[in-house]
């Protein structure tokens, strides 16, 4: 067990000693925040007010602001569960290029421990970094106003982040084991950073896309994670908005904004509940873990 812990610790240190790697792993989250300050807040607010239908003078404006801020935070967290594990897993490619993998493979350490050490280090990094962002975000939002989040919702957010970190790590492990050079992994990261914000609905609500595009986006576990985070982060706010309305619309407004902002992932005619999304994500992660073990044994030979 000591050899596994040692390898995991080594992989963690490689990631955290590279300040630029940490910065670029959070670059998409920073871009989401910057775009929010520039124009995304207005876009989301317009989408929200466009569904009010005469309720503008009834719903508390502070609740609308906190709702939009919560949407922003869910987008930042969702993007972090994608980019942080990917950046951490680039250690695999760097080890292969530098020949470090040959040294590791020449030791008596079992193969499953080697591959699991990369997986564990990436999962820990993603969970730690994303949890840190969420903690800071919640502190800032509660200074700005009341998110109405009970302890159980906060705990659920951390569990969702853990699930997202592990599932993204499992998915990217398969991809990273097939990449031969750092230039290729860096190029793919550039594409991933640009596309991830759209895939999880951080820039534009997925409901604004066509059904086929929305269905494709929701094939990715990170989109389900972001939807689950929206439910946890905004449950209290939506309940307070519904309380402001006092049943005048029979809950139509809340149903509408949950639809517009994709509180439940939809893919090819199937609407996922929280339990359904969790099962889907776990299935994808399990398949990837089994596959990555097979790929590692096939592509990384002892020399």
Long-range contacts of 110-116 (CB under 8 A, 24+ apart): 111/293, 111/296, 111/297, 111/300, 112/293, 113/3, 113/4, 113/7, 114/7, 114/296, 115/173, 115/292, 115/293, 115/296, 116/4
The reported pLDDT for the residue numbered 297 is: 67
The reported pLDDT for the residue numbered 55 is: 66
pLDDT in tens, 101-137: 666 766 767 777 788 888 999 999 999 999 999 999 8
User: What's the domain count of the chain?
Assistant: 1
Of 247 and 129, more confident: 129
Q: What percent of the chain has pLDDT over 90?
A: 27
DSSP states of 167-183:
HHHHHHHHHHHH---HH
Indicate the range of 73-77, 150-154, 250-254 predicted with least confidence.
250-254
pLDDT in tens, 163-206: 999 999 999 988 888 887 888 888 888 888 888 888 898 888 88
- The average confidence (pLDDT) of the chain is 84
The rounded Cα 76 to chain-centroid distance in angstroms is: 8
Place of tokens 């990837």: 288
Provide the residue range defining the domain that includes 134.
Answer: 2-299
Distances (CA, A) of 173 to 115, 119, 288, 298: 9, 7, 8, 14
Measured distance CA(33)–CA(69) in Å, rounded: 10
**What average pLDDT does range 147-157 have in this prediction?**
90
**What average pLDDT does range 131-160 have in this prediction?**
90
């Amino acid at each position: 067990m000591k050899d596994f812990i040692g390898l995991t610790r080594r992989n963690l240190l490689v990631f955290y000693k590279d300040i630029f790697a940490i910065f670029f792993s959070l670059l998409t989250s920073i871009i989401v925040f910057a775009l929010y300050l520039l124009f995304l807040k207005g876009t989301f607010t317009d989408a929200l007010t466009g569904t009010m239908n005469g309720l503008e003078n009834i719903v508390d404006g502070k609740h609308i602001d906190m709702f939009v801020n919560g949407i922003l935070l869910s987008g930042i967290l969702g993007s972090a569960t994608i980019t942080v594990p990917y950046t951490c897993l680039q250690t695999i490619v760097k080890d292969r290029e530098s020949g470090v993998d040959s040294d590791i493979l020449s030791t008596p350490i079992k193969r499953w421990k080697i591959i699991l050490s990369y997986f564990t280090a990436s999962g820990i990094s993603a969970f730690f970094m994303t949890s840190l962002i969420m903690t800071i975000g919640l502190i800032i939002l509660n200074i700005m106003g009341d998110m109405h989040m009970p302890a159980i919702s906060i705990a659920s957010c951390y569990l969702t982040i853990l699930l997202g970190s592990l599932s993204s790590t499992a998915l990217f492990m398969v991809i990273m084991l097939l990449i031969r050079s750092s230039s290729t992994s860096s190029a793919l990261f550039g594409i991933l950073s640009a596309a991830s914000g759209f895939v999880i609905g951080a820039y534009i609500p997925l409901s604004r896309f066509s059904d086929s595009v929305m269905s494709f986006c929701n094939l990715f576990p990170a989109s389900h994670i972001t939807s689950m985070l929206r439910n946890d982060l905004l449950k209290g706010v939506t309940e307070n908005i519904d309380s402001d309305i006092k049943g005048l619309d029979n809950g139509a407004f809340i149903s509408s904004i949950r639809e517009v902002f994709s509180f439940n992932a939809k893919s090819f005619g199937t609407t996922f509940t929280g339990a359904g999304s969790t099962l889907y994500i776990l299935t994808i992660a399990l398949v990837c873990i089994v596959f990555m073990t097979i790929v590692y044994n096939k592509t990384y030979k002892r020399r």
